[in-house]
Amino acid sequence: MGDRFARLRELPRPSEAAVVWVETDDEALHFLDAAFSAMDGVANVRREYRDVGGRKLFKIYVAPGSLDEALRVLRAAAEHVTIGEIQIEP
């Protein structure tokens, strides 16, 4: 019996998600989670954060090719909730 997944292994590996850290608070994080949930497949908001000088930066995974759209959503969200610094991991 042959390898039934051989053709799948020949496909190129998918691109990695971009990691974006967003300075915000817990309440705004719920808003962002709802906004990105409504946009199927653009980004995934995580509850993971890092503390940088007393500021919380929360982690968001952004789908390959969706970084510009995710940044537009964050800028639009900043009109309604607290959004501070945005860091994109290289």
**Pair of tokens at residue 51:** 């503390």
Assess contact for 57 and 85: CB atoms under 8 A.
yes
- Residue 1: pLDDT above 90? no
* Cβ atoms within 10 Å, residue 49: 17
Distance CA 62, CA 70 (A): 7
Assess contact for 60 and 73: CB atoms under 8 A.
no
- Residue 13: pLDDT above 90? no
**pTM for the full predicted model:** 0.83
State the average pLDDT for the chain: 93
- Residue 9 dihedral angles phi and psi, to the nearest 5°: -65, -20
Distance CA 41, CA 43 (A): 6
pLDDT tens sequence across 46-86:
999 999 999 999 999 999 999 999 999 999 999 999 999 99
Tell the CATH topology of 13-88: Alpha-Beta Plaits (3.30.70)
